[in-house]
Amino acid sequence: MRRSHRIAIITKILSEHPHQLFSLSDFAQMFGAAKSTLSEDLAVIKEAFAEKELGKVETLPGAAGGVRYVPKLSRTELFTRIDRLCQKLSDPGRILPGGFLYLSDLTSDPVVIREIGEIFAAYFAGLDPQYIVTVETSGIPLALATAHYLNVPMVVVRRISQVSEGSVVTVNYVAGSSQRIQTMSLARRALPVGSRVLLVDDFMRAGGTLRGLAELMAEFESQVVGTGVLIEMEQPSAKLVEDYVSFISLEQIDSTNQVVKAEPAPWIKP
């Protein structure tokens, strides 16, 4: 097989499996080629990705070593993606009765979700989470995409306990916006005690749900290493959680004048 053929195939495998370590022997066997030849192939891929800022190809030395693709984004690309989403959010046609904003088309669009999942993965990779945790329903696609790009499992907390999941741990929490007591639960076997978890959700008003999630994680003796929110409502300004990162600030939903104001979070602006 020619070098250019091998480069196409290795690139496909690496980019479809972010953060997964492949040994040179795996590739050597696949192509019937020497490891030194594959090292040269990988150097080409590494250079190409670096030149176009398409993420990093990392080579880890030693017996347990190998090569893996790590998603990274330039600041420009981060801003471009978030800004594009803000423009979609700012369409007054999204305003619903009651001052709600219609988001379901975006939170279930695979293209949008992968772009944002890659952002989340690149941003939170350094915290080395073992699980991406979210609560049903609308946060699931984003959590799954983040989990894909970090190569770790996703865990979905349920709002209604399922008989088909065995013994569960349940917590009650106060939804910040409605002040109602709500319930969330997670199967005992869904998350090993003592895990490092990243909490992910698509939308945050007062932060009641994320606080409930954090309390549930405490029941699993698990450490919340980070909390990522795609869209944060500016009001109420007092939030029930600390140490979270949001990417979009929703400043206003004005149904009288038909104005929505969504902006990239200040730290993202170039």
Q: Which is nearer to its own copies, 44 or 245 (CB)?
A: 44
Q: Is 164 in the site for its own copies (CB under 8 A)?
A: yes
H-helix or E-strand spanning residue 182: strand 181-187
Q: What's the min distance (Å) between Cβ of 83 and its own copies? A: 20
Q: Is there a contact between 149 and 120 (Cβ–Cβ < 8 Å)?
A: yes
Q: Is 140 in the site for its own copies (CB under 8 A)?
A: yes
* Contacting range for its own copies; rule: CB under 8 A; set: 1-9, 212-220, 226-234, 249-257: 1-9
* Contacting range for its own copies; rule: CB under 8 A; set: 7-15, 73-81, 211-219, 252-260: 7-15
Q: What's the min distance (Å) between Cβ of 133 and its own copies? A: 10
Tokens standing for residue 173 = 């929490």
| Burial per residue of 90-122, b for 16 or more beta-carbon CB atoms within 10 angstroms, e otherwise | beeebbeeeeebebeebbeeeebbbbbbbbbbb
Q: 261 vs 102, 215, 236, 254, 270, CA distance in Å?
A: 14, 32, 15, 9, 19
Q: Which of residues 215-254 bind its own copies (CB under 8 A)?
A: none
* Contacting range for its own copies; rule: CB under 8 A; set: 2-10, 77-85, 236-244, 249-257: 2-10
**φ, ψ for residue 203, nearest 5 deg:** -150, 140
| Burial per residue of 17-40, b for 16 or more beta-carbon CB atoms within 10 angstroms, e otherwise | ebbeebebeebbeebebeeeebee
Q: Is 136 in the site for its own copies (CB under 8 A)?
A: yes
Q: Is 163 in the site for its own copies (CB under 8 A)?
A: yes
Q: Is 109 in the site for its own copies (CB under 8 A)?
A: yes
In three-state secondary structure terms, 13 is helix
Q: Is 15 in the site for its own copies (CB under 8 A)?
A: yes
Other Cβ atoms less than 10 A from the Cβ of 185: the count is 18
Residues that bind its own copies (CB under 8 A): 1-9, 11-12, 15-16, 44-45, 47-49, 51-52, 54, 96-98, 100-105, 108-111, 113-114, 136-137, 140-141, 144, 147-148, 151, 153-156, 158, 163-166, 187, 189-190
